Structure 1
Amino acid sequence: MHDGAESLSASKSKIFGFVEALTRGQKQAILLCLDLILAPLALAMTCALALNSLAPLWLLRQMGPVVPIVAICAGLLSILFGIHRIQLKAFEAQAIRLTGMCSVLLAAVLAVLVALLDLPLRGASIVTFGVTYFLLSVGVRLAMLRALVWVLRQGRTRNRVLIYGAGTTGVQLAAALRSHDSISPVGFIDDNPALHGMTISGLRVFPYAHIPRILRRHDVKRVLLAMPSAPYPQQARIARKLEKEGLKVMTLPSFAQLVGEEKLVDHLAPVVPGRFLNRRQIESTLPQGAEAYVGRTILVSGAGGSVGSELCRQLLATRPKRLVLFEVSELSLYNIERELTELARDTEVEICPVLGSVTDARMARMVIAEHKVEVIFHAAAYKHVPLVEANPIPGLANNVLGTRTLADAANEGGVARFILISTDKAVRPTNVMGASKRLAELVIQDMSKRSRGTVYSMVRFGNVLGSSGSVIPLFKEQIARGGPVTLTHEDVTRFFMTIAEAARLVMLAGSFAGNDCGGEVFVLDMGAPVRIRDLAQQMIEAAGFKLRDENNPDGDIEIQVTGLRPGEKLHEELLIGEGLLTTPHPKILRARENSLTELETARLLRTLRSVVAVGDSEGARDVLRRWVEGYGPERPSPENDPPDAVLQSIPSAQT
């Protein structure tokens, strides 16, 4: 028995080898000969049916001259319609129609011959001949295809797949896979209850709940998602559910995607951050202050970051003498240096990339002295709240001690202006990141008191739309995956500004600061705070999808509340104290806030350096509780209601 199986396998291999060895021309010749043979065979069968006998020899003798004519005509018609060139696996509806036309014309040729030669065949027999030839031609080809597919599948690993979606696309896919030598569809999965239990294209339609049973019975490893017209979030949700079953999911594109009328991957409309501000943006061009940077050497720390890189681009437009890019990330420095070098090609601005950390005192002093730096914008900081909360020591070392190191080097090197970029999270902070930025502000306030010529100032603003780690890139990524969009709290609000606004504010603040007013904090009129849930809903709708909630259970993407993260506030503020002072720009105000004495600042820095040196995280938080006003965990209370517009007191601002 074993020998018989081996013999059968060897025979199959020989057949497969013979078919594979045939050239395309030889295969076409075989099919053409087949058509030549089938025409006389159909004629013989027609004669047998006409006399109700299997051996109508006398009729065949009378029709002897007709047989070769019919055979030759069958071959010519096959060539004319190109039937012999159609591959067996492509012999479907169009090929069957061509075969039908060929059969009709061949029957017409027989009818002419019968009339001319006065042969004993009736009209019904001529119709029978056409039908017989058609059935033989189609049937033999389909039988050959089945036989070849059976031979090819023997000894091969067959990938059994499920087709998700029993609509038009799914049916077409099943038809295309029917003759495949290594892929075998085992059934349809569809969410429409009306289709469950039906058989479509020879395959049973199952509900989703039957998937585990199908997997066990048929050893299915892959699902083909054949529902291209479904919304992308719906496809993404289905794909995630199937992947949890251990299946690999592949999506079939629609015809619109295949011809380029619809993007295959990115279904999201471009997001313009400024549309979510709920206020007018400040001028798109720098209204004043550019003269403060013309022909000067400017250093930007954190030049590869979101705000730092935009600041460099806008500073380049003021035509400084030299732009020093100070960055700790090699990749970020490489990217921004390459971009700015291209932008500065037709200018005389010198681009100087410097790889280093602001915590390195020797490096800071050397860079300032070597390039004769006149203005410093300090944008280097660890800013991601959860990461700094989990890693307080490096966060404080970089944000506080790094600021002191660079500020000291600026004072020693005779830098004219030093501008610290701060955040609204520094106001009564509930997290380590915000507290570290408040300590950095206290350091700059202390430096302004002891400065030997350097003017120190700070710029404080809210969240920057579109920056790395901000909500817009996060929400866009979640929407692209089909949701859900995660929200920490239903009522959380934030102040927002665009990256371009942030860069202009910093540059303007740097030009406003003077020797008679160092140490102040500049803030932007950012309007009312934005509710993050409203922002998430706007982004979902801007992407062309519908919000799924209790009122709209058939929507595309839901918003999922995950709870406030450690150290996260419900609402942010921009000012610690009361009272605002005007500046030359109506949208920018300044405030003088309480600071530490020189002795207190020295004690703070000494304690902080000690805890950082030994890696004492709890000791670091004790330093924050001791020296940062309002530092502590968020406590939900009526006081956490959204504050009134911070700048509502503008009309009474003092000059």
Structure 2
Amino acid sequence: MIAIKPRIRSFIAFAHDFLAVVIAWWLAYLFRFNFEIPSEYQQSFKYILLWIVPLQASIFYSFGLYRGLWRYASLPDLKQIFLTVALGAIAVPFVLYMLQLPVLVPRAALFLAPMLLMLIMGGSRIVYRSWKEQRLYSLDDAKRQPVIVLGSGSTAVSLVKELERSRDWHVAGLLTDNPNKLGTHLHGVKVLGMIDDLVEWVEKLSVGHVIIAMPSASQALRRHALEICARIGIKPMTVPSYVDLVSGRMTVSQIRNVELDDLLGRAPVVLDMEGLHELLTGKVILVTGAGGSIGSELCRQILSFNPRQLVLLELNEYALYTIAEECRANFPEIPAAFLIGDVKDSARLDQIFDQYRPAAVFHAAAYKHVPLMEHANSWQALKNNVLGTYHLAQTAIKYGIEKFVLISTDKAVNPTNIMGASKRLAEMVCQALQQSVENDCQQVAAKPRTDFVIVRFGNVLGSTGSVIPKFREQIARGGPITVTHPAISRYFMSLQEAAQLVLQAGAMDRTTTGGEIFIMDMGDPVKIVDLAKDMIRLSGLNENDIEIVFTGLRPGEKLHEELAGDNESTLPTPHEKLRITHSCPPNGQWLCSLLEWFSDQQALSDEAVKMTLTTWVPEYLAQPSHHQPVMEKDTGSN
């Protein structure tokens, strides 16, 4: 029966259209003669049907008119019907003329019959679909949940269409930010009011769900909608981001919970695809720290450019295993090497570079947690972030690597902590290597053909060790959320955007002598306390449910981060979201002195590291080791 049913449906549809041809021509004759057809025309009508019906039927069948289902009839189906009917309208008089049949055919019928046929065939399909959907919805109305959609643009209309075909949702109405659309109907659903009227309409319609369908709206508007939902105790949902919709990775029907990325309001990154293909496609690419947040996202995006091979270097076994499983599942066709190794181990690096010969290196391996590196781990932070970068960079020069990209941080600007100072020192090491020439220091290679690129950006939403996972855990426990200071702010960007701009910076041509520091457009800084409040609302709670406590600044922590130092001027680049710093880089002799200092040390205390760093990084402002936090509750004034 399962195999026969489609054939039965096709046969019924074919029989319907067969009969529709007869009815259309009969009605055409009736209309032409005011329902009194002369006897001679009645005879000719019967005769020409012997030619017309098989001709029309063969056209219908050859156009594949019976492959679809009537219950899903849509505009493409109507277009196909129109084409077949139009072809028949041309073919019928042509055949009658060519065969010179001795029949009387009124010319008006040649025009009326196709129009009537189109009306019967298309109309019956639409009526059938409407009946089926109405019957389906009437059966499921008790189960379908009413929902209000915020938005009145093309995305909202597409969402309404999708939801009206679902068994889970019923769109009770639309709310808009455009007063010109008030009272209009979009795909049969009325625009009830403005977004500010949400409270009123939720109560009137007894709605328990709200979907925000404004992917291109401003950050302020989306945040405002979220605040209203939090005020009335409704956890909002949203459609995929504008980037996902345009790329085709997701459709509007894939509704999800609102995430912090949705509130950033950042425009999608437009990439120089030609430059990225030249850098990545068909080449061997090495990523260090490949199991970390930035490293793993870099791997995902590099794999989408079809490299010849991706080499993933990671010290943490579990992190490497996780990204390896993901790569094998999502990109099984691209060769990848998953390697355990330490960037401070020169012998291991030589082994890797000699075996795989990468064309480009993306260096994301680093110790980055500020408080953790500030006490008891300062020397290890310095060795890993500075010496590790040097050994990796020297190996890249030795093997003639085309591009070396260092992932840096905004905490390297006027640093007040060990992590930031060590990353600034790593930047200077790369700049010195780019500028170095043959001299009496045997450890420094001649001026390399390797191009060094340094990319500096701020916090990434949801990255390992960041404030977002910490806030999620605190909310899950019922609070309180701990924020260090009411005024503290940070730059934030999504993980995808950060990785995209790192790749974009790597693909750019050398603008000066190399060793450039690229600064990402991070938008406006976000207050951490506002971020905490947003996360509370996104959890379907309000600030009365979860307490916010201020604990005082942690050691090495600044109130506000910077993207460029006092001695650095920035210049635009061909990409609107990247700027380049212009400063005087250190020379090879400076690098020799730094390496000699490292070779003379075994292990230094935190205080000794801080004291020495003020020599190597003049802008570093060391803070006292002991810091007593002050507990303070959020009074709501912020």
| Root mean square deviation, CA, Å | 1.9
Aligned partners of 1:564 and 1:396: how far apart in 2?
23
SS of alignment partner, residue 569 of structure 2: coil
Aligned counterpart for 2:557 among listed residues 545, 564, 568: 568
For the Cα contact (< 8 Å) 1:297–1:371, is it kept in 2? yes
Q: Which residue of 1 aligns with 2:421?
A: 435
The 1-side partners of 2:271 and 2:480 are apart by 35
In the TM superposition, residue 289 of structure 1 has moved relative to its aligned partner by 2.2
- Provide closer, same or farther for how the CA distance between residues 286 and 501 of structure 1 changes in structure 2, counting only shifts above 3 A: farther
What is residue 448 of structure 1 aligned with on the other side?
434
2:283 aligns to what?
296
Structure 2 counterparts to residues 34-53 of structure 1, below 5 A: none
Query: SS where residue 557 of structure 1 aligns?
Result: coil
Partner of 1:650: none
Cα distance in 2, alignment partners of residues 575 and 279 from structure 1: 21
TM-score, length of structure 2 as denominator length: 0.54
* Contact 1:467-1:499 at 8 Å conserved across structures: yes
CA contact 2:431–2:585 (8 Å) conserved in 1: yes
Summarize deviations over 1:293-345 as a string: whole Å, max 9, x none.
Answer: 11110000000000000000000001110100000011111111111122222
SS of the counterpart of 1:596? Answer: coil
Secondary structure in 2 aligned to 1:614? coil
Q: Does 1:558 align with 2:579?
A: no
**1:241-640 correspondence runs (5 A):** 270=257, 272-283=259-270, 289-345=276-332, 347=333, 349-390=334-375, 391-450=377-436, 451-514=447-510, 516-547=512-543, 555-576=544-565, 577-611=567-601, 613-633=602-622
| Residues matched between the structures, number | 357
Question: Aligned partner of 1:441: which letter?
Answer: E
Q: Give deviations 1:442-482, integer Å, cap 9, x for gaps.
A: 00001111332110110000001110111111111111110
Give the distance between the partners of 1:565 and 1:286, measured in 2 at CA: 42
* 1:11 matched residue in structure 2: none
- Asked whether the 8 Å contact 1:568–1:634 carries over to 2, the reply is no
**Range moving further from structure 2, 572-581 or 452-461:** 572-581
Between stretches 624-633 and 424-433, larger displacement belongs to 624-633
Take 1:602 and 1:276, find their aligned partners in 2: how far apart are those partners? 47
- Please give the residue correspondences for 1:10-25 in structure 2 after superposition, counting only pairs within 5 Å: none
2:361 and 2:274 map into 1 onto residues whose CA distance is 21
The one-letter amino acid of 2:588's match is E
Q: Superposition pairs for residues 44-123 of structure 1, below 5 Å?
A: none
8 Å Cα contact 1:455/1:515 also seen in 2: no
How far did residue 276 of structure 1 move?
3.8
Q: Would you say the 8 A contact 1:569–1:634 is kept in 2?
A: no
Q: Secondary structure at the match of 1:472?
A: helix
Looking at CA atoms only, which structure, 1 or 2, has the larger radius of gyration?
1
Contact 1:457 1:519 (C-alpha < 8 Å) held by counterparts: yes
Amino acid at match of 2:362: F
1:614 & 1:310 partners in 2: Cα distance? 34
**For the residues of structure 1 that align with 2:460 and 2:551, how far apart are their CA atoms?**
22
Q: Tell me the distance in 2 between the aligned counterparts of 1:495 and 1:614.
A: 34
- Superposition pairs of residues 201-280 of structure 1, within 5 angstroms: 270=257, 272-280=259-267
Shift of 1:494: 0.5
CA shift for structure 1 position 540: 0.6
Distance change in 2, residues 1:427/1:609 (3 Å): farther
CA contact (8 A) 1:493 1:529 kept: yes
Relative to structure 1, the CA distance from residue 374 to residue 362 in structure 2 (aligned partners, 3 Å threshold; closer, same or farther) is same
SS at match of 1:483: coil
CA shift, 1:288, in A, is 5.2
DSSP-derived class of the 2:349 partner: helix
Displacement of 1:527 after TM fit?
A: 1.2
Give the Cα–Cα distance (whole angstroms) in 2 for the partners of residues 285 and 535 of structure 1. 32
Give the Cα–Cα distance (whole angstroms) in 1 for the partners of residues 429 and 584 of structure 2.
Answer: 12
Query: For 1:516 and 1:510, how far apart are their aligned partners in 2?
Result: 14
Tell me by how many angstroms 1:617 deviates.
Answer: 3.2
User: Where does the alignment leave 5 or more consecutive residues of structure 1 unmatched?
Assistant: 1-268, 548-554, 636-655
User: Does the residue aligned with 2:324 lie in a helix, a strand or coil?
Assistant: helix
Q: 1:633 to 1:276 in 2, by over 3 A?
A: farther
Distance 1:574 1:515, change over 3 A: closer
Q: Which residue of 2 aligns with 1:222?
A: none
> Identity across aligned pairs (percent)?
46
* TM-score normalised by L of structure 1: 0.53
1:87-109 residue CA offsets vs partner (Å, 9 max, x unmatched): xxxxxxxxxxxxxxxxxxxxxxx
SS class of match (2:471): helix
Change (3 A) 1:323 1:511: same
Distance 2:541 2:274 in 1: 39
Secondary structure, aligned partner of 1:312 = helix
Structure 2, unaligned stretches of length 5 or more?
Answer: 1-255, 437-446, 625-638
Which residue type is aligned with residue 452 of structure 1?
Answer: P
Match of 1:205 in 2: none
Residue 631 of structure 1 and its aligned partner are, at CA, apart by 1.1
Secondary structure of 1:521's partner?
strand
Alignment check: 8 A CA contact 1:297 1:372 kept: yes
Counterpart CA distance in 2 for 1:556 and 1:494 is 25
